[in-house]
Amino acid sequence: MMEVCHERAEFSAACERARGEGGRVGLVPTMGALHAGHLSLARAARRDGADFVALTIFVNPLQFAPGEDLDRYPRTLEADLDACRELGVDLVFAPARDAMYPAGFQTEVRVTGITRQLEGEHRPGHFDGVTTVVAKLFANTGRCHAYFGRKDFQQWRIVERMARDLDLPVDVVGMPIVREADGLALSSRNRYLSSDERERALGIARGLRSAHDAWQAGTRHADALSKLVRQEVEPAFDRIDYVALASPDTLERVDGEVNEGVLLIAAHVGKTRLIDNLWLGVDTRP
Ligand code: AMP
């Protein structure tokens, strides 16, 4: 029987109990509106040997800037619970806003350096909101393996950094991006797309695919690789925030000839902002 809880104390106690029985806890933090990308993380937790898989659903207001989509972010709790039950998740923690941030809350967890560029530059304060809520989730879970998607590549690296820097008893694991058959990376925000926008959104997958092919054929020049993505994305999207080749460790941009890198992109189609990336030499063809 899957447990569902809404209070931090209940959640912590359930994780504690699972560990007390000798179980290993696998944690999957999400904002809900679950899709196959989220579910792949829960599956990975189980496959890696978690005896107790806990999935959290919380649309974290701290990581949305004024004017972003906090109010219209999709909330589909009943369907999410059904999907978790079907998958064999052990516990869903779905706190209300006040359960996470009771009156008087005034702490922020901030990672420096790796948070400054790319998403950090275009969404000021976003990662502070992410690390604050994830630090709380980690504190409430206790010792665990925590699963993050490489769809949010920079976020994964930042959370890993935070866990290491703060000596948190959490092993952070980054899992590959799950895509639709046509290459579109799954995202809760894909629900916002009209059919025309969804078609245009495929420019990202096409661009990443041609960069992948060029990499396989031996192209190593950062500008050449970025250009292949831009060529596909520019005509299809309304605005590009960035297309960048970055170090997978520091997320700093790299240029010239490179022997490793992640191609990252953020762009707007209509009112929807999409992000995607390709870890060259590591990820499969989008
Ligand atoms: P979100 O609900 O968007 O905050 O995402 C929760 C977790 O699911 C994050 O670790 C995301 O990186 C991950 N995730 C979202 N979309 C995908 C995807 N298409 N493939 C793999 N992981 C994903």
CATH of the domain at 250: 3.30.1300.10
Q: Is 126 a catalytic residue?
A: no
Whole-number pLDDT of residue 108: 98
Q: Does residue 153 form part of some domain? A: yes
Domain identity same for 133 and 23: yes
Q: Does residue 18 form part of some domain? A: yes
Whole-number pLDDT of residue 246: 98
Whole-number pLDDT of residue 282: 98
For residue 54, what is the domain's CATH number? 3.40.50.620
Q: Give the global pTM.
A: 0.98
Whole-number pLDDT of residue 270: 97
Q: At what angle do helices 36-47 and 77-87 cross, to 10 degrees?
A: 30
Distance CA 199, CA 210 (A): 17
Ligand 1 pocket, CB under 6 A: 30-31, 37-38, 40-41, 148-149, 151-152, 175, 177-178, 185-188
Residue with CA at minimum distance from ligand 1 atom 8: 38
Q: Of residues 38, 126, 145, 212, which has the active-site annotation?
A: 38
**Ligand 1 centre and the CA of 30: distance in Å?**
7
Tokens of 108: 């922020």
Question: pLDDT in tens for each of the 286 residues of the chain?
Answer: 999 999 999 999 999 999 999 999 999 999 999 999 999 999 999 999 999 999 999 999 999 999 999 999 999 999 999 999 999 999 999 999 999 999 999 999 999 999 999 999 999 999 999 999 999 999 999 999 999 999 999 999 999 999 999 999 999 999 999 999 999 999 999 999 999 999 999 999 999 999 999 999 999 999 999 999 999 999 999 999 999 999 999 999 999 999 999 999 999 999 999 999 999 999 999 9
Domain identity same for 97 and 154: yes
**Ligand 1 centre and the CA of 127: distance in Å?**
15
Number of Cβ within 10 Å of residue 235's Cβ equals: 9
Distance CA 193, CA 179 (A): 16
Domain identity same for 170 and 218: no
Say how far residue 197 (Cα) sits from the centre of its chain: 22
* DSSP SS3 for 16: helix
Domain identity same for 142 and 239: no
Domain count, the chain: 2
Beta bridge partners of 266: 242, 275
Q: Which domain holds residue 134?
A: 3-175
Helices (H) and strands (E) in the chain, counts: 9, 9
Integer angstrom CA distances of residue 112 from 10, 79, 115, 116: 32, 37, 6, 7
- Which of 80, 151, 177, 276 is the best mutation target for the ligand 1 pocket, counting ligand atoms within 8 Å of the beta carbon and taking the most? 151
